[in-house]
Amino acid sequence: MSPVTFGQILILFYVTMDEWLYFKEDMNDGFIYLNLVNLA
């Protein structure tokens, strides 16, 4: 596995976890955020 690919996976994992924790902290804001992303 190349360093670039590994770095991209780490970034993707970090972003996913960050959004998941935000989603868990406030479900209502999470759903609104997801809806805005889907409409974008």
CA dist 2 and 8 (Å) reads: 10
pLDDT at 12: 87
pLDDT tens sequence for the chain (40 residues): 577 788 888 888 888 888 777 767 777 776 777 788 887 6
pLDDT at 1: 59
Q: Which residues contact 34 (CB under 8 A, 6 or more apart)?
A: 23
- What's the burial of 9, exposed, middle or buried (CB within 10 Å: 0-12/13-18/19+)? exposed
pLDDT at 30: 67
pLDDT at 40: 65
DSSP assignments along 14-33, one per residue: HHHHHHHHHHHH-HHHHHHH
pLDDT at 23: 67
- The structure's pTM equals 0.40
